[in-house]
Amino acid sequence: MGKAVSRALVLDFGGVISKTLFETHALSEAALGLAPGTLVWRGPFDPGQDAPWRAMQAGEITERDYWALRMRETGALVGEHWTEFPQFVGRLRGADPAAVIRPEALETIRAAQAEGFRLAILSNELDLFYGRDFRTKLPFLADFDLIVDATYTGILKPDPRAFHLVTEGLALPADACVFVDDQARNLRGAAEVGMPHVHFDVTKPGDSYARALSLLRQGD
């Protein structure tokens, strides 16, 4: 069989396909009516000034713990109490989620399709963070062969079972897939099942996507 069924690009969503909330503070401040420079947490862009981010990277708190903290803090700034992540993300991202999709992601998705590679998303909290109607606002998601979301499966990366859900859903061996994630710890699960992977550098998205496509082409 040809390329259309032989290899797959498997992407995390938040940070990889969409820009991080750290990169869109100006948009968030405008959406919330906050003065420019109010939001100072910068995660991977300035870890020295973000102690909770360092704690998350060290495994002392989970990623969901980190964002729950930022949700509480940001809500307090505008006198609102948010209990669900979609409330938080929706207020910060506004009504046009397409505006925060990485152009490099769309270019890479188009390139992968043009070369006959398949597409999948493996996310720990796609609908949990963004809400169930989010996908309808992003037409390019219809081009994906498979979306595995731990919001529903309950199996979080780096658990190897999450990666098995991808290989089973695509009917491909692990070594025929290339996984891309901005959280290094999630790559351990890919390594455990034998899936080639790229640690996505949110400060250099183009370079990371180029490496992913190179790995796909090498295996073809």
The confidence band for 220, taking pLDDT boundaries of 50, 70 and 90, is low
Query: How confident is the model over 89-109, as a mean pLDDT?
Result: 89
User: In the prediction, which pLDDT does 95 show?
Assistant: 66
- For residue 171, pLDDT over 70 is answered with yes
The confidence band for 216, taking pLDDT boundaries of 50, 70 and 90, is very high
* SS3 per residue for the chain: CCHHHCCEEEECCECCCECCHHHHHHHHHHHHCCCCCCCCCCHHHCHHHCHHHHHHHCCCCCHHHHHHHHHHHHHHHCCCCCCCHHHHHHHHHCCCHHHHECHHHHHHHHHHHHCCCEEEEEECCHHHHHCCCHHHHCHHHHHCCEEEEHHHHCCCCCCHHHHHHHHHHHCCCHHHEEEEECCHHHHHHHHHHCCCEEECCCCCHHHHHHHHHHHHHHHC
- For residue 147, pLDDT over 90 is answered with yes
Query: How confident is the model over 83-102, as a mean pLDDT?
Result: 87
Summary mean pLDDT of the chain: 93
Rg over alpha carbons for the chain, rounded to the nearest Å, is 17
- For residue 59, pLDDT over 50 is answered with yes
User: In the prediction, which pLDDT does 72 show?
Assistant: 97
C-alpha–C-alpha distance, residues 129 and 151, integer Å: 9
- For residue 197, pLDDT over 70 is answered with yes
Per-residue tokens: 220: 């073809």
Query: How confident is the model over 111-138, as a mean pLDDT?
Result: 92
C-alpha–C-alpha distance, residues 90 and 122, integer Å: 21
pLDDT digits (tens, 9 = 90+) for 1-54: 344 448 999 999 999 999 999 999 998 999 999 999 999 999 999 999 999 999
Query: How confident is the model over 128-157, as a mean pLDDT?
Result: 92
Query: How confident is the model over 142-150, as a mean pLDDT?
Result: 97
Query: How confident is the model over 60-78, as a mean pLDDT?
Result: 95
Query: How confident is the model over 165-194, as a mean pLDDT?
Result: 97
Q: Are 45 and 2 in contact (CB under 8 A)?
A: no
